[in-house]
Structure 1
Amino acid sequence: MVTGSTRTHTCAEVIARTLHETGVRFAFGHPGGEVLELIDALERTGIRFVLTGHESTAAFMAAATGRLTGTPGVCVATLGPGACNLVLGVGTAYLDRDSVLAISARTSTERHHRSNKQNLPLIDLFTPITRWSVDLEGADVEDTVKTALSVAAGPPRGPVYLSLPSDVAGKPAIGHGTLHSPLPPPADESDLPRILSALNAAERPVAVVGIAMDAARDAPAVRRFLRDTGLPYATTVQAKGTADELGDGFLGAIAPAAGEDRIIEWLQRSDCVLGIGFDPVEVSRLWHFDAPLQIVANAPVGFGTYTPPAACVGDVSALLGRIAEGYRGRCLWTADDIRYLRVRVDAVYHPSSEGGPDGMSPYHLVSALRDALPEDAVVSSDVGAHKNVMGQRWRTPEPGVFLMSNGLSSMGYGVGAAMGAAMAAPDRPVAAITGDGAFAMMVQELETIRRTGIAPLIVVLYDASLAVIKIAQQARKLPVSGVDFAPVDWVKVAEGFGIAAEAVDTPDEARDAVARWVRRRDARVLVARVDERLYTGLKY
């Protein structure tokens, strides 16, 4: 443990100590010679450095630990190509609103302005995809790292990037530079009377729950508000678990989720849409541009030329409490209306058969996986055709147990997020549900899983195709091209990495295989053959 005056310690030691004091226990990354002093300091301070096969995985793992623990996750890379490889994961954290501290090396102070070998303008590269990007040369390191962690934790949550010159890491931390960090958004409740007036005047109000809140803290208030007011409600997919998905008023998920068009029809018929933490970063459709949206969130959610008609920024739980106290409205939606909508949503993507010539129905597979996995399991969903099924079909009992990239929608996120979750929550079952296209991008991380001893279940939906892109080609009457893979024996591939694997062909086989995994909890790949033609009702 590093102790004593920070003045006698190196920059790397000060960084490590500050991170440890904040609660950081892991740093994920792929090293180069320029970050060796930092990695050594992290390890000596009690922060485990976890080698990953690719830097994007490190950032995905950091994002998942940040989302699960509330403490920013940390990822580390070397300069040049290492820093560039972080960009996908950092950009994902930016649009997914995950708290991440990304640290990379930079060329030495001696070379920085004289040699362009591996010398990229990293601050310029990361500034557009972070909440704050800082070069530590000449900076007060302890103060800067503390501020960086605070900015990453939000609100709003997001990544911060630190650039560490290779020769500064091992030198005494004597910088005194004062850096200007972004200020937290000020509370603004000026629209509260307007929101309450609109809600009280509405006859067909609907609530949409999103990610612009502290879900772990605010979920009880959200559930209480929806129960007491009786408003029907939907949720964006990253916010799943915040609202009660078994509640009488639950309509389903949107942004994106199979069958969401039926729910959007309701939103467009509504005379007041109350956005509880609603953040349009998850929305690819245009319905919210003209909707009578009244938003309460922990940070501003406007973007570019879009500004919601009314919005309050502040403590979401407190704001909902005040709205509930003044709510005197009535809701003409009936229980029969809600039940009918649910049936219509399900009918969009529920195929008539649980299997076809090439494999099982993704709908029935996801249903079997949900039945077999424990309620407390942390589940990550990757990006692909199955994401739309997962977003709608996966029942999520509480915040923080369903991980998905939806702001940037990055393929490969599912495996990395599950790895981070398995590190952060070693006592909970963790599963990733991914397609074979995304899995191929991350297959090298099976070595990381084996080496670290974590035990996630990775379910690979195998159809040898980028099915959702093929669906888009067919819908636009374009020739099918560039979307099909050659067959791969993923069981043998996984076994080659030393990971147990098996194939399943029916929902019942999948259910039994998951039940066995729950009992023994080893790292395992489950290859589930699906028939891409049974992805019904999907749009792109």
Structure 2
Amino acid sequence: MTDALLRALSQRGTKRIWGVPGGGSSLDLIAAAPHHGIHFVLCRHEGAAAMAALADAELTGAPGVVLTTKGPGVGNAVNGLACATLERAPLLLVSDGFSATQADWVTHQFFDQRAATAAVAKGYARCDSNDPVAEIEALLNLACAAPRGAVHLDLTGQAARRQAEPKDFAPPAPLPPDPAALDAARALLAGARKPVVIAGLEAAEASEALRALVTALGCPVLVTCKAKGCVADADPHCVGVFTGGSLEANCVGEADLILLAGLDPVELIPQPWRYTAPVLDIGLRPHPVHYIQPAVGLHGDLGASLAALAADAAPSAWLLPVIGAHGDAMRAALAWAGSGGVAPPRVVQIAREEAGLHAGQATAPRATVDAGAHTFSATAFWACAAPRDLLISNGLASMGFALPAGIAAALHDPARGAIAFTGDGGLMMCLGELATAFEARARLVTIVFNDAALSLIDIKQQHRQLLPEGVRWGRVDFCTIAEGMGVLGLHADTEEMLREALAVALAFDGPSLIDVQVDPAGYPAQLQALRG
């Protein structure tokens, strides 16, 4: 049974299992994994392991796998499962399970593990039926079906050691777009003079067709955080990041047609849709909960839909200087110069420059971004050339994502390595994974925006004119902590110190951490510009 599971994962492209094992089926999977070309990575916390597995899934398209013990292991992993489901990433939790007879008399570490994950997992299996291999196939297919998400395999040691005949995996063919919907979409597009394209997370797997459509139309394109790089930031049609807030409203407000290309409503901030132009929704599937009612829904194979529209598209009335001015205005609204520390936008700009992204080098590091006030600077100023050049938790917007995701990105492509942008609060949630990065010899530079506060919540507290309580703490010396875990620790209080630290860190063959004292003074104005 163990071999059947590992073979099914290997055939789909899974290369790693992340986790903190228990003494049951976990040990069987760890022992058998190398025979299937799968490497087990021992993490320090199951929640971080799930975040790393999620990043693996986004980078490979294959199911990410997190392995846990029963009871507390499952409880710790739940946030990572919620993150995978709201990021639309296929993730398999394999937990040590209780047998049916144990459930009648065991109370130690026992709770209903299926019920514990039911709110955030798409499916559940135990592989105790007459056809356990069919259970595995159905569970993995469910994880990979739109909307992708987490599934849970509760595996007892007895089930893991059952004999089962593996099956060959045949990937399902994508559904073609409906011809009638395609004709309606073509007619809608033909009547538009100033269309605007908004690309979302599904576009990561159809970026070539998306770029062709944008070029054919000669129109502005905005991307969500998870769609960064689907159209390169250097492309003159790329305006910036779309969140559903006010910053992008001047550009999108000029549109007489809005094309949503793979946009999932889970990516947008909870504000009402502010545009009156008709919407053409192009995606893998219709969304049961949406901000708007599209004029036309074109659902199915996203690449095929975009390519079909591009083939007939005529140039729009947009002018490149106008598109460029919109992008310049958006970036200017988010920038500020720091005093008494480095301004967060400058942290990202300097990291981008030192990493060589301004020169378009193919081997430039990927970036991972944590949730927090620094997120806006990282997504706005980290230039991406291709999909998945930046990884972020956007649907759940969970803290504690950037470090484990950065480890996964660095191991996925050791030549490129990765840079993790994290706040001090997010890092403290998964600090132990610095030791995981050291043992894995990951080429990861962790940049800490250290301002001794939950800055995003601090801003909201200030806005409500409440006393500054419950959102600030004493400044932590992350350099010393990093060194204690074997990670190269560096410190920066100024832009010059940051450049010097980055030069050392990027040349280092292993994990490093730069503790940057940041100036948070511009955060309130930045948030106001973004969200209104």
TM over 0.5: yes
Is the contact made by 1:302 and 1:308 (CA closer than 8 Å) also made in structure 2? no
- Among candidates 13, 24, 33, match of residue 3 of structure 2: 13
Contact 1:131/1:160 (8 A) holds in 2: yes
Q: Hey, what's the Cα distance between the residues in 2 that align with 1:134 and 1:390?
A: 39
**1:281-337: per-residue Cα shift (whole Å, max 9, x none)?**
100143547652211112333427965332111222221222223334743x43343
Q: 2:313 aligns with which of 301, 307, 327?
A: 327
Query: Does the CA contact (< 8 Å) of 1:240 and 1:396 recur in 2?
Result: yes
3-state DSSP of counterpart to 1:385: coil
Which letter maps to 1:141? P
Matched, 1:54 2:36: no
CA contact (8 A) 2:212 2:307 kept: no
Moved more, 186-195 or 452-461: 186-195
Seen in structure 2, the aligned counterparts of structure 1 residues 290 and 363 have a Cα distance that, compared at 3 Å, is closer
The counterpart of 1:538, out of the listed 519, 523, 527, is: 527
Indicate how the Cα distance of structure 1 residues 136 and 308 shifts in structure 2: closer, same or farther if over 3 A, else same.
Answer: farther
Once the 2 structures are TM-superposed, how far is the Cα of residue 15 of structure 1 from its aligned partner? 1.8
- Offset of 1:417 from its aligned partner? 0.3
- Residue 361 of structure 2 is matched in structure 1 by none
Secondary structure of the equivalent of 1:109?
coil
Give the match for residue 407 of structure 1.
395
Find 2:96's aligned residue among 95, 105, 108.
105
* Residue 263 of structure 1, aligned match among 224, 228, 248: 248
1:371 corresponds to which letter in structure 2? E
Provide the rounded CA distance (Å) in 2 between the counterparts of 1:306 and 1:288. Answer: 7
The question of whether the paired residues in 2 share the 8 Å contact of 1:72 and 1:153 is answered with yes
Aligned mate of 2:222, from 225, 234, 237: 234
- 2:449 aligns with one of 449, 452, 461: 461
* Closer, same or farther: CA 131–149 of 1 in aligned 2, 3 Å: same
1:6 paired residue number:
none
Moved more, 317-326 or 409-418: 317-326
The reply on whether 1:313 has 2:299 as its aligned counterpart is yes
Aligned to 1:84: 75
Distance 1:449 1:386 in 2: 22
1:249 alignment partner, one of 225, 234, 237: 237
In structure 2, stretches of 5+ residues that fail to align are: 358-363
Secondary structure of residue in 2 paired with 1:321: helix
**Are 2:344 and 1:356 aligned?**
no
Kept after mapping to 1: 8 A contact 2:236/2:320? yes
Matches within 5 A, 1:425-444: 425-444=413-432
**Closer/same/farther in 2, CA of residues 71 and 538 from structure 1, 3 Å limit:** same
Contact 1:202 1:329 in 2 (8 A): no
Superposed displacement of residue 72, structure 1:
1.3
CA distance in 1, matches of 2:328, 2:11: 51
1:39 aligns with 2:30: yes
> Is the Cα–Cα contact under 8 Å of residues 109 and 167 in structure 1 kept in the other structure?
no
Correspondence for 1:371: 353
The amino acid of 1:296's aligned partner reads: I
Mapped to 1, the partners of 2:146 and 2:217 lie a distance apart of 27
SS of residue matched to 2:100: coil
CA contact (8 A) 1:368 1:508 kept: no
Does 1:279 find its partner at 2:264?
A: yes
Please, which of 500, 503, 506 is the counterpart of residue 488 of structure 2? 500
Distance 2:124 2:279 in 1: 33
Structure 1 residues 17, 175: closer, same or farther in 2, change over 3 A?
closer
TM-superposed deviation, 1:530? 0.2
1:463 maps to amino acid: D
Q: Is the CA contact 2:491–2:501 (under 8 Å) kept in the aligned structure 1?
A: no
How many residues are paired up?
Answer: 516
Report the CA distance shift for 1:289/1:103 in structure 2 as closer, same or farther (over 3 A): farther
TM-score (norm 2): 0.90
1:3 paired residue number: none
Structure 1 residue 482: Cα displacement: 0.9
The structure 1 residue matched to 2:435, chosen from 447, 451, 459, is 447
Corresponding letter in the other structure for 1:95: L
SS class of match (1:14): helix
Matched-pair identity in %: 29
Name the residue aligned to 1:212.
Answer: 202
Amino acid at match of 1:315: D
**Residue identity in the other structure for 1:419:** I
Q: CA separation of 1:151/1:183 partners in 2, compared to 1, >3 Å: closer, same or farther? A: farther
Deviations 1:235-264 (A, max 9, x none): 0010000012222222110227xxx52313
SS of match in other structure, 1:234: strand
State the partner residue of 1:417. 405
SS in 1 for 2:516: strand
Query: Tell me, what secondary structure is at the counterpart of 1:487?
Result: coil
1:173 Cα shift? 3.9
Task: Quote the Cα distance in structure 1 between the aligned partners of 2:5 and 2:390.
Answer: 31
The equivalent of 1:7 in structure 2 is: none
- After TM superposition, what 4+ stretches of structure 1 lie above 6 angstroms from structure 2? 182-186
Q: Distance in 2 between matches of 1:48 and 1:315?
A: 32
- When residues 268 and 60 of structure 1 are mapped into structure 2, their CA distance, relative to the original with a 3 A threshold, is same
* Among candidates 445, 459, 462, match of residue 474 of structure 1: 462
Query: In 2, distance between residues paired with 1:28 and 1:467?
Result: 31
Determine the structure 2 residue equivalent to 1:338: 323
Question: Which aligned pairs between 1:34-183 and structure 2 lie closer than 5 A?
Answer: 34=24, 35-138=26-129, 140-173=131-164
1:521 corresponds, among 495, 504, 509, to 509
Preserved contact between residue 383 and residue 434 of structure 1 (Cα < 8 Å): yes
- Residue by residue over 1:20-60, the C-alpha shift from the partner in whole angstroms, topping out at 9 and shown as x without a partner, is 34332211111111222232222454422211100011111
Alpha-carbon distance in structure 1 between the residues aligned to 2:309 and 2:38: 44
Residue 75 of structure 1 contacts residue 103 of structure 1 at CA under 8 Å; is this kept in 2?
Answer: yes
Alignment CA distance shift 1:223-1:174 (3 Å): closer
Which sits farther off after the overlay, 400-409 or 512-521?
512-521
Q: Deviation of residue 269 (structure 1)?
A: 4.2
Quote the Cα distance in structure 2 between the aligned partners of 1:186 and 1:335: 33
Question: What one-letter code is carried by the residue in structure 2 that aligns with 1:18?
Answer: A
1:89-143 residue CA offsets vs partner (Å, 9 max, x unmatched) = 1110111111212111221222124444433332233233233222222252323
Q: Distance in 2 between matches of 1:112 and 1:421?
A: 39
Checking the alignment, whether the CA contact within 8 Å between 1:123 and 1:135 is kept in structure 2 is: no
Offset at residue 372 of structure 1 (A)? 1.1
For the pair 1:390 / 2:378, whether they are aligned, the reply is yes
- Aligned residue for 2:442, secondary structure, equals coil
2:96/2:157 contact within 8 Å kept: yes
- Whether 1:27 aligns to 2:28 is no
Distance of aligned partners of 1:184 and 1:55 in 2 relative to their CA distance in 1, 3 Å threshold: farther
Q: Give the secondary-structure state (helix, strand or coil) at the position aligned to 1:443.
A: coil
Unaligned runs of 5+ in 1: 1-10, 177-181
